[in-house]
Amino acid sequence: MYNAKVKNYQKEALKTRVAGADRYEIIQMLMAGAIEKMVMSKVAIEKKHMEAKAEHLSKATSIIEALRGCLDFEVGGEVTENLYALYSYMIDRLVDATIKNDPAIVDEVSNLLKEIKSAWDAIPHDIREKTLSDNGIDANVG
């Protein structure tokens, strides 16, 4: 009962964060969510909880697929192409981790995503707002 209430609270808190977030913040949340799911999958692998492992890796893979699907090739050029290839590699590696039950593969993908996230997090706030306003998006609304 307690766990259900905590999970419900967490879902509502996440909905509130997403509702007030701009595109940059949503990408940050997606990356953090994928990293969290990979951490949980490693724990599940180590404890031999295969159903939980599959669920967590599936969710991490879905998030990375969503990140890949959001790439804008018209704006990003070569960087976008490189990210697409990297996200595709990460998805393939998570499939390998699922099949092989190998936490080292999960670590590899997690570390790659952490590098991308740290670069994303380093984008200065004023640049983010300018990019959003140049695209006709109110940075305060999302």
The answer to whether residue 89 sits within a structural domain is yes
The answer to whether residue 137 sits within a structural domain is no
Instruction: Assign residue 67 the CATH number of its domain.
Output: 1.20.120.340
The answer to whether residue 17 sits within a structural domain is no
The answer to whether residue 81 sits within a structural domain is yes
pLDDT computed for residue 140 by the predictor: 43
- The boundaries of the domain holding residue 48 are 24-123
Of the CA atoms within 13 Å of residue 74, those in its CB half-sphere come to: 0
Q: Which residue has the higher pLDDT, 76 or 32?
A: 32
Residue 9 in tokens: 């609270």
Residue 44 amino acid letter: A
pLDDT computed for residue 24 by the predictor: 85
Q: Residue 102 and residue 100: Cα distance in Å, rounded? A: 5
On the question of pLDDT at 108 being above 90, the answer is: yes
Total count of domains within the chain = 1
Per-residue pLDDT tens for 73-85? 888 789 899 999 9
The answer to whether residue 142 sits within a structural domain is no
Q: How confident is the model at residue 141 (pLDDT cuts 50, 70, 90)?
A: very low
Q: Which residue has the higher pLDDT, 26 or 9?
A: 26
